[in-house]
Structure 1
Amino acid sequence: MAISSPLEMLRERAEEKLNDTTQQLGEVRQRYEQARAQLEQLRHYQQDYQQQLVARAAESGIPVTHLLNYQGFIHSLRKVTQHYNHHVVACEQAVEQVLGDWKKDHRRLNAFNTLKSRADDAAKLKESRQEQKMMDEFASQLFSRRSSV
């Protein structure tokens, strides 16, 4: 195994970090989407329950005890929905945080890739100049030999 340059080692570590952050971003986005879907289910359930109450009350009336039970349950659902809404907001903030980290890691990897590309280009240019110098020396020696004969 060849010994990597320090720049290549840093680039590889930046790439590993970006991969880890990408995985983390996927996980927090998935949690956010699940939480959002569950919140929508809670809201839909709350709305259905309210519509059932209105429909039953309009059809045949409803005893006061049942009305109080419905209202209590709807109130409880509203509280749970509000609490879960805070959870969804926290999940959204986590996504934004990890997305910011991902962007930072991506910029860092791009910077290392740019530095590596520049270093590779400089090495190729140096090698090309050395080859040209050797060719010039060879041509000069060949010319000198032909001139002296």
Structure 2
Amino acid sequence: MAKHDPLDTVLKLAKDAEEQAGLQLKSAQLMLQKCQSQLEALRNYRLDYMKQMEDHHGKSISASYYHQFHQFVRQIDEAITKQIVSIQDADNQRLHRQNRWQEMQQKRKAVELLLARKADKVAQEELRREQKMIDEFASQQFYRKRVR
């Protein structure tokens, strides 16, 4: 039965942490995309609303309608400004999670490298033992032939 290497457990934990960080990164990327889509929708809504007002160009409109229009446009502009801040926050979160995922990836790779080096060392030791046995066998064969 093969011995259980504690590094195998460390590797499993590192893989799990990397996977979790990857899921969190994906979630942050989706949130950023959602915020960007909402901003695009707000901008399109504002553009459509401005086109409606342009259609009234040359027509008589009441002062209250004109005031309401400008007030509504100002509200849309405020929503756009807030959405831009939300995008910046979401992008910062995405960057943070991307850095975390990269750290977890580096840790996993480091553990895999340690395990590979350990396996190479074990293989080299096994080769040395085999070579030593072959040398001993050859020496014994040589000695037996000589003694006869």
The TM tier, using the shorter chain, reads over 0.9
| 2-structure distance, mates of 1:3, 1:138 | 29
Residue 141 of structure 2 corresponds to 142
| 1-structure distance, mates of 2:132, 2:2 | 28
Instruction: Give ranges in structure 1 of 5+ residues lacking alignment.
Output: none
Residue pairs, 1:1-80, within 5 angstroms: 4-56=4-56, 58-80=57-79
Q: Which amino acid aligns with 1:76?
A: Q
Number of residue equivalences: 148
Deviation at 1:73, TM superposition (A): 0.9
| 2-structure distance, mates of 1:80, 1:3 | 62
Instruction: Give ranges in structure 2 of 5+ residues lacking alignment.
Output: none
Q: Which amino acid aligns with 1:87?
A: S
Give the % identical residues: 25
Q: Which amino acid aligns with 1:30?
A: L
Which runs of structure 1 show a deviation greater than 2 angstroms over 4 or more consecutive aligned residues?
Answer: 1-4
| 1-structure distance, mates of 2:132, 2:67 | 96
Kindly report the root-mean-square deviation, in angstroms, between the aligned alpha carbons of the 2 structures.
1.4
| 2-structure distance, mates of 1:48, 1:37 | 16
Q: Secondary structure at the match of 2:4?
A: coil
Residue pairs, 1:72-111, within 5 angstroms: 72-111=71-110
